[in-house]
Each structure stands twice: as C-alpha cells, then as structure tokens.
Amino acid sequence: MKCARIDKLTCTPASPIYLGENVLQIDGWKGFQHWFCRLWPRHAQQIRKIVLAEWGSGYPAMPAFGNVYGVGDFKRLKQLRMLQSLVVVVDEKKTLYLQLDRLRYWNKWHDGLELGPRVYLQMMHVPGMAGLRTLRGLRNVEFRHPASDEQQGSIPGGFLETTVKREITRGATT
C-alpha cells in the first residue's frame, strides 16, 4: 500500500484529488501532533482514507498533557467528515501479551489454554484504546499486521474484531 504525505504546500486546486484519492499515513502517537499541525482545516474535510501505523507501540504509558490515552488525537480524526476508511497497523496478539505480562496471574497461564473473552478484555487497558473506540461511522476498518500488508493484525474473534471494529463501523452509511 502506498501512502501519501501532506503539508501546507499542497496546491489548493489539486488538494481534492491528492487528499481524497490517496491513503494518508499517521506514524504513531507523535505523528498525530506533527500531522495535524501541518494540515489546513479546508484540506481536512477532503481526506477519505488513513493508515494509523505503529499504533500499539506509539502511545506513551501515561497520559500526556491531559490527552487521556489518545482520546484527543482520535477526536481530531472524528472531525474528518469525509473519512471512510481506517487501517490500523497493530499486532493484537503481541499487544495483548504485553498487557497480560503486567498481570500477576499471567505467569501461571498455561500456553495450551485458549485465550477467552475475559482475557481479550485486557485490550481495553492498552494505551490509546479508549480513543480508538470513540470513532464512529466509518465504512471500512482493517487491522493489519506490521510485518505484512496481507497478514491480519487482529486475533480472529478477538477484542479488535468483535468489539472495536463493530463500534467504529456502527452508523456507517453505505
């Protein structure tokens, strides 16, 4: 997937084509601040597709300046009225295991046991998850693995697929 980069030098007559037909990429938590400070408000309304790269590892463990785990960043995404498609680059299994390593009982978990819904709920505590879950009305949401565009980044039947994707696509018009 090829992604475009934007800046304030983007030609105004060409911006509907450039911003509306290309896939724009935001790289991690700091990418939100950098990306939105370079974006003109009139251009923001033309964006249709975004790739959120390095999401799981890109957020700090503690809130920064009142930005409670990325909620403010995702509010900015919610303001993009033409946004239809969001691709989140994440390895849910790795992110979940990092979250479970912080729990005391996880060391006693047997690898042969399957992960169940109660374990998947630990994904709610991943930094940035609350913000991601505030998005609504997108037509297309995908979770891709960081190693490959073809590989699925979410666990089949896991929290991202069963809860987050359903919440984000709720209210989407076709």
In percent, the amount of the chain with pLDDT more than 70 equals 74
The residues, any chain, with a CB within 8 Å of residue 134's CB and separated by 6 or more, are 71, 74, 75, 78
Mean pLDDT of the chain: 77
Q: What pLDDT does residue 70 have?
A: 60
**Mean local confidence (pLDDT), 19-45:** 78
| C-alpha–C-alpha distance, residues 23 and 149, integer Å | 14
- Work out the angle at residue 1's Cα, subtended by the Cα atoms of residues 94 and 49, and round it to the nearest 5 degrees: 90
pLDDT at 103 over 90: no
Do residues 38 and 30 lie in contact, with contact meaning Cβ atoms separated by under 8 Å?
Answer: no
pLDDT tens digits, 143-159: 999 888 778 889 888 89
Do residues 82 and 122 lie in contact, with contact meaning Cβ atoms separated by under 8 Å?
Answer: no
What's the DSSP call for residue 136? -
pTM value?
0.78
- Work out the angle at residue 169's Cα, subtended by the Cα atoms of residues 163 and 173, and round it to the nearest 5 degrees: 160
Spacing of C-alpha 132 from chain mean position: 6
